[in-house]
Amino acid sequence: MADGMIRMDIINPYIDAYLTQLAVSKDDEVLLEMEAVGIEKDFPIVGPQVGRLLQVLTLLSRAKTVFELGSGYGYSTLWFARAMGPEGVVHHTDLSGENRTKAREYLTCAGVIDRVRFHEGDAVEAFKKSGVTPDILFMDIDKEQYPAGYEAFKDRLNPGALVIVDNLLWDGRVIDMKNTEKSTLGVKRYTDLILADKRFVTTIVPVRDGVAVSLKTS
């Protein structure tokens, strides 16, 4: 198999379609619009299945502060902001000013803009500079930067904090031993780092493209 050739469905496509139609919020105009834009522009939002996982984890952990590394036009931000309620704060980061502008529009429409703080520039640098110690750290930046994200949060988070990281299965590329793409190596390196760090208890949930959920225990 040539380098980087493996791409596979993580979930049977019929099951995936079934789960997606169960997860879609059929009367939520803002989410529906954001999901339609994701499809139209081929922009990799986490989508409704992962959105619901973020919602459940946020509610379960009673999080009041979320720091996102890689927020795009605010789709995952909206799931967190809604789940936390008016007391919550979610930190939005994205390299793209256009994404930030769109996020402001959508989050205003959804009535949660007061719960969002925007940061410009590189997400990992913004996290380091912010001094924020979030209850949930969510990572969805360029995959080669995942190890740098880990280095930034590993000692900063308090016990009880959750780390949620998207794309841990990377369309199946993680099992292609010949794949030397920086993105694939970044995902695999992150996986090794978080699993080796005994302060975190981690599970990789094979929803959509794989989501790692890690609880910091000490």
Ligand X SMILES: C[S@@+](CC[C@H](N)C(=O)[O-])C[C@H]1O[C@@H](n2cnc3c(N)ncnc32)[C@H](O)[C@@H]1O
Q: Which is nearer to ligand X, 61 or 186 (CB)?
A: 186
For ligand X, the binding residues in 4-33 under the rule CB under 6 A are none
SS3 189: helix
54/159 Cα distance (integer angstroms): 19
Phi then psi for residue 45, to 5 deg, are -70, 160
Which is nearer to ligand X, 76 or 184 (by Cβ)?
76
Candidates 89-97, 106-114, 155-163, 171-179: pick the segment binding ligand X (CB under 6 A): 89-97
The reply to whether 57 sits near ligand X by the rule CB under 6 A is no
Q: In what order do the strands lie in the sheet with 89-94?
A: 116-120, 89-94, 65-69, 136-139, 162-166, 211-216, 200-205
Judged by CB under 6 A, the number of residues near ligand X is 19
Among 16, 20, 24, 44, binds ligand X (CB under 6 A): 44
The count of C-alpha atoms lying within 13 angstroms of the C-alpha of 151, restricted to the half-sphere facing its C-beta, is 10
Q: What are the DSSP E strand ranges found in the chain? A: 65-69, 89-94, 116-120, 136-139, 162-166, 200-205, 211-216
Tell which positions 123-162 bind ligand X, by CB under 6 A: 123, 140-142, 145
Q: How far is the CB of 2 from ligand X (least distance, A)?
A: 26
Nearest residue (CB) to ligand X, 142 versus 199: 142
Neighbours of 123 (CB within 10 A): 26
For tokens 């967190």, what's the residue?
80
Of 6, 30, 31, 45, the residue at the interface with ligand X (CB under 6 A) is 45
Task: Please identify, using beta-carbon distances, which residue of 132 and 199 lies nearer to ligand X.
Answer: 132
Closest CB to ligand X among 98 and 198?
98
By CB under 6 A, name the one of 65, 93, 179, 184 that touches ligand X: 93
Q: Return d(Cα 76, Cα 205) in angstroms, integer.
A: 17
Give least dist CB 44 to ligand X, A.
Answer: 4
User: From the centroid of its chain, how far is CA 164?
Assistant: 6
Q: Which of 16, 28, 105, 122 is close enough to bind ligand X by CB under 6 A?
A: 122
Cβ atoms 158, 61 nearer than 8 A = no
**Binder of ligand X out of 53, 66, 72, 164 (CB under 6 A):** 72
Rule CB under 6 A: which residues touch ligand X? 44-46, 70-72, 75-76, 93-96, 99, 122-123, 140-142, 145
